[in-house]
Amino acid sequence: MCSISPMGQLKVSRRFPGVKELAGLMRFRKPILNGRKRRLSRALTIYDLRDIAKRRTPKAPFDYTDGGADTESSLTRARQTFENIEFQPRILRDVSIVDTSVTMLGKTMAMPIGIAPTGFTRMMQTEGEYAGATAARDAGIPYTLSTMGTRSIEDVAKIAPDGRNWFQLYMWKDRDRSMALVERAKAAGFDTLVLTVDVPVAGARLRDVRNGMTIPPSLTSKTILNAIPRPAWWMNFLTTDPLKFASLDSWKGTVAELLDSMFDPTVTFEDLNWIRGQWDGNLVVKGIQNVEDAVLAQKAGADAITLSNHGGRQLDRAPVPYLLIPEVRKAVGEKFEIHVDTGIMHGADVVAAIAAGANFTWIGRAYLYGLMAGGKEGVDRSLEILRTQMVRTMKLLGARSLAELNPSHIKQITR
């Protein structure tokens, strides 16, 4: 009740609430006893997962995932570009139901997001490739095993036989050994080969140099001190089977030394034509960074290309893949598939890429943060976060399906 005093002031009458009233206002969350589930439930964004991952993972493997080349401007600019997108929503549309599915290289995927190839994955968290492959299978999206993966082609096929498994190939100086991997992938039922073409030499990943990053991680006084607050990671690392690679038995040097010793800097479009003749499944060329090379890859027989600057891990100040989409789309036509990666940390980034003209997107760090935060459940959480963000963004844009997204939904602003 309120009243007006003789002085014209508003007076509010007060009372003491009853016990039943207080009880009705009080709500207590049911405690989550499982530590992994508890910390993952608190993660609402990919950046939340990154924070958890940083607390739980030693500096060297975390920085290997998190970092880029040189000044890391390629990665910074890619992320800033997504931040600088202004959406143009349409209103008064029935968006009670939103369809995120997409047909990609002949098969329907639950959403336009795939798990990109990442090297040395079990260093981030012991479940490694198994977590990525099974999470992708459960989410109805593709998983790509890297040449530098830490589980074999056959092991991944066995753990996720009903998943859509792809294999990523780096061409080595030893061509016969490279193509032996391709034959193994074919025999294991992998339906797509991803040829990465932007690594003639390792990028200058300065965090790895400063951390003394080796494969496997070396035990030094520095790493031991860094390990003290992260006992779970080291317990998993020391008590599970030693790291094994999809493509080689072992390596004792740094990551950069490994890449420079193996990868072939003489690979040309003639080699791409030759690989096309060796592989009868889908062929995706990953690492395209200009319109001319996109057209050449299409002419060489690629079924799709991935616009990528390797997550900002190779050439510093490289083109931002997202910004290439409109020009490349115009050059290759509407029917040719364009995929894109680098800098995707939110479902809205995926929506923007599709609206710009891409057919599909790929994530690396975004799922690895989830892996480091909580193994397979963490990868599940990262994919669920992105899916939820996608659906919400599409509803707010007035788009009921990916096919309704188009360039009129986006505008690039400058700051």
Active site residues: 310
CB 52 within 8 A of CB 374: yes
Residue 76 to residue 68: CA distance in whole angstroms: 9
Locus of tokens 């509803």: 395
Q: In terms of C-beta distances under 8 Å and separation of at least 24 residues, what long-range contacts does 214-217 make, across chains too?
A: 214/252, 214/253, 214/254, 214/255, 215/120, 215/123, 215/243, 215/251, 215/252, 215/253, 215/254, 215/255, 215/258, 216/123, 216/242, 216/243, 217/58, 217/60, 217/61, 217/123
Q: Residue 212 carries which DSSP code?
A: T
CB 168 within 8 A of CB 196: yes
Count Cα neighbours of 309 within 13 Å in the Cβ-side half-sphere: 28
Cα 75 to Cα 56: distance, rounded to the nearest angstrom? 23
Question: Which two three-digit tokens encode residue 278?
Answer: 């060796």
Strands (E), 62-211: 85-87, 102-104, 107-109, 113-115, 142-145, 164-169, 192-196
**Owner of token pair 């690039």:** 412
Check: CB of residue 205 under 8 Å from CB of residue 255.
yes
SS3 content of the chain, % helix, strand, coil (to 5): 45, 15, 40
- The bridge status of strand 192-196 relative to strand 337-340 is unpaired
